[in-house]
């Protein structure tokens, strides 16, 4: 406030000598005291970093309720203080009758202005009764203007600083198509409304009265055809606005199978280069096409030893309903499981590619002490194929646990086990599960690999409920549970690094897929 009074005093000094007497000057200053107090209140708000809870309108402007319970009266004008076209000072849009540049006095003598021993402003030797240090002993910075534009209130200080706060509820811009909103069932419905005054706003989307999202943009999938009422609400400390509209969800028929393979990369194994068949002429793309041709026609492929994987897609979104949602088909036997870890992802960016975040299905082994997360293994291409059809030291590997070993050759499969289209070494990363491989005979003749309890593929028989997957089991990279409306992509990789004698290495096989929600 000191600066504001000093500014007023300086204007008087520059004006020469007022014709009015000191009494009139004191009255002018007194008339400003209430408004000066308001400026100090505004500064108090800024210093405390308070925020607007809500506001009310009246015929003169706004009554703003702050977070500490205080209230501010803001006139609905371009500024609190300005110079009018007639050259007078205007305060809150009202002409004060005081020229911004005073008329020269008869003597041309400027008034004498000083600060008295009591701390008040002294003009021409008389105490104005107004403290030069501001109310409550505060140093009142000078606010030269307060403006309202596009829902924002801007405070401008004498030194050029500005502070802007939101003083209006969010405004929603959501143009609707001429024929209304429509989407096929089991396909993502996406909306990106434009929000004015979005700072510190919160959002809510509801479908038929049930909240489904608190994000600014909507990504939602409808399980069934029909008409649905959607409501979008945007809210901040000032108020809220809503948009209500209808979405028509169309009926659609889908193939309950794998419809696309995005990537196929098997690890060394006895069925690698056989399911599907591969040669040195193959490339990443041609082998992907072969894997896609097999899986889209329900024929089996092998992922090889630990880490080998395939990434698959579908013609619809697999919805996360109550209970189990899908099963990836394999060829597990009652005593010989070859479990594969399942990863899921949804098309968050809408480009139809599996390039968004992946989530691991947390199966029964995920939290066990024997499970190794962030495991890594590297396989090295052998310089030559061994003469011994049962060579135990065939393809060397080393992992990030300081362990090394070999993938053994199996006399039942004579082709090279190393993927022919790859370089001299290949590396896989993921979660490692300790296998259950056991020789019950003790003589290498009766090998078994019992299944895990749940959460993996090629682990139980295809018609066994324990082989089904619930999308709600998904966790992020930190092991935290995530809520997914649905998924569009599935990745499966071999979970074990082990061998069962004459049965060969543990290698996950895949032969198809079923969306349990379509059955």
Cross-strand pairs, 81: 91
pLDDT higher than threshold 50 for residue 234: yes
13-27, 98-112, 124-138, 182-196: range with highest mean pLDDT: 182-196
Mean pLDDT of 166-191: 91
| Residue 44 confidence (pLDDT) | 52
| Residue 77 confidence (pLDDT) | 39
Could you give phi then psi for residue 463, rounded to 5 degrees? Answer: -100, 10
Q: Within 10 Å of residue 334's Cβ, how many Cβ atoms?
A: 11
Instruction: Please give the mean pLDDT across all residues of the chain.
Output: 82
Q: Where are the beta strands (DSSP E) in 251-325?
A: 260-265, 301-302, 309-319
Question: Are 362 and 473 contacting, i.e. CB atoms less than 8 angstroms apart?
Answer: yes
Rg (CA), the chain: 38
pLDDT higher than threshold 90 for residue 117: no
Mean pLDDT of 483-509: 96
Please list, in sequence order, all residues whose beta carbon lies within 8 angstroms of the beta carbon of residue 379, skipping any fewer than 6 positions away.
267, 268, 305, 395, 396, 397, 407, 418, 425, 426, 427
- For the stretch 291-320, pLDDT in tens is 999 999 999 999 999 999 999 999 999 999
Question: Are 174 and 243 contacting, i.e. CB atoms less than 8 angstroms apart?
Answer: yes
Confidence band of 426 (pLDDT split at 50, 70, 90): very high
- For the stretch 318-365, pLDDT in tens is 999 999 999 999 999 999 999 999 999 999 999 999 999 999 999 999
| Residue 85 confidence (pLDDT) | 75
Cα(321)–Cα(318) distance, integer angstroms: 9
Mean pLDDT of 208-236: 96
Cα(207)–Cα(181) distance, integer angstroms: 14
pTM exceeds cut of 0.85: no
Mean pLDDT of 262-270: 98
Could you give phi then psi for residue 145, rounded to 5 degrees? Answer: -165, 150
| Residue 15 confidence (pLDDT) | 42
How much of the chain exceeds pLDDT 90, in percent? Answer: 63
pLDDT higher than threshold 70 for residue 422: yes
Question: Are 106 and 122 contacting, i.e. CB atoms less than 8 angstroms apart?
Answer: no
The two structure tokens encoding residue 255: 């193939």
Question: Are 307 and 267 contacting, i.e. CB atoms less than 8 angstroms apart?
Answer: yes
Please list, in sequence order, all residues whose beta carbon lies within 8 angstroms of the beta carbon of residue 490, skipping any fewer than 6 positions away.
311, 312, 326, 328, 342, 343, 344, 513
pLDDT higher than threshold 90 for residue 285: yes
Confidence band of 378 (pLDDT split at 50, 70, 90): very high
pLDDT higher than threshold 90 for residue 264: yes
The strands making up 240-250's β-sheet, listed across from edge to edge, are 181-184, 240-250, 226-235, 202-207, 210-213
- For the stretch 3-25, pLDDT in tens is 433 343 443 443 444 444 455 55
pLDDT higher than threshold 80 for residue 49: no
The two structure tokens encoding residue 94: 């009202």
Question: Are 301 and 509 contacting, i.e. CB atoms less than 8 angstroms apart?
Answer: yes
Mean pLDDT of 405-423: 96
């Amino acid at each position: 406030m000191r600066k504001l009074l000093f500014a007023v005093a300086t204007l008087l000094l520059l004006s020469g000598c007022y014709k009015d007497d000191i009494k009139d000057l004191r009255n002018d200053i007194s008339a400003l005291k209430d408004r000066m107090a308001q400026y100090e209140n505004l500064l108090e708000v800024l210093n405390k970093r308070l925020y607007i809870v809500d506001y009310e309108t009246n015929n003169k402007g706004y009554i703003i309720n702050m977070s500490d319970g205080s209230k501010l009266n803001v006139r609905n004008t371009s500024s609190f203080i300005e110079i009018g076209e007639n050259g007078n000072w205007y305060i809150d849009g009202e002409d004060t009758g005081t020229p911004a540049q005073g008329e020269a006095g008869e003597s041309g003598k400027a008034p004498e202005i000083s600060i008295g021993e009591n701390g008040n402003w002294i003009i021409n030797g008389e105490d104005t009764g107004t403290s030069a240090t501001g109310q409550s002993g505060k140093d009142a910075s000078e606010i030269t203007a307060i403006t309202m534009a596009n829902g924002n209130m801007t405070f401008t200080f004498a030194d050029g600083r500005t502070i802007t706060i939101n003083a209006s509820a969010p405004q929603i811009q959501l143009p609707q198509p001429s024929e209304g909103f429509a989407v096929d069932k089991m396909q993502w419905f996406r909306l990106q409304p434009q929000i004015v005054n979005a700072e510190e706003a919160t959002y809510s989307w509801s479908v038929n009265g049930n909240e489904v999202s608190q994000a600014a943009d909507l990504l939602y999938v409808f399980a069934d055809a029909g008409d649905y009422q959607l409501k979008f609400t945007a809210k901040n400390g000032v108020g809220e606005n809503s948009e209500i509209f209808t979405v028509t969800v169309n009926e659609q028929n889908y193939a309950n199978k794998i419809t696309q393979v995005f990537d196929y990369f098997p690890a060394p194994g006895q069925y690698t280069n056989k399911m599907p068949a591969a040669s040195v002429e193959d490339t990443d793309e041609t082998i992907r096409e072969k894997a896609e041709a097999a899986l889209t026609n329900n024929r089996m492929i092998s992922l090889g030893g630990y880490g080998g994987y395939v990434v698959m897609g579908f013609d619809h979104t697999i919805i996360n309903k109550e209970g189990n949602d899908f099963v990836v088909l394999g060829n597990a036997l009652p005593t010989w499981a070859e479990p594969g870890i399942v990863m899921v992802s949804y098309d968050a960016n809408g480009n139809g590619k599996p390039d968004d975040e992946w989530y691991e299905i947390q199966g029964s082994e995920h939290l066990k002490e024997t499970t190794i997360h962030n495991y890594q293994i590297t396989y090295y291409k052998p310089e030559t194929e061994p003469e011994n059809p049962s060579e135990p030291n065939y393809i060397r590997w080393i992992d990030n646990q300081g362990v090394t070993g070999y993938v053994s050759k199996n006399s039942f499969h004579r082709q090279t086990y190393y993927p022919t289209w790859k370089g001299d070494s290949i590396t896989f990363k993921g979660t490692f599960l300790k296998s259950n491989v056991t020789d019950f005979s003790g003589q290498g003749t009766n090998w078994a690999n019992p299944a895990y309890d749940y959460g993996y593929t090629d682990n139980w028989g295809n018609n066994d409920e324990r082989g089904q997957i619930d999308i709600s089991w998904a966790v992020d990279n930190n092991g935290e549970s995530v809520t997914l409306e649905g998924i569009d992509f599935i990745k499966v990789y071999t979970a074990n690094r082990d061998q069962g004698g004459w049965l060969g290495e543990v290698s996950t096989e895949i032969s198809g897929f079923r969306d349990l929600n379509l059955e």
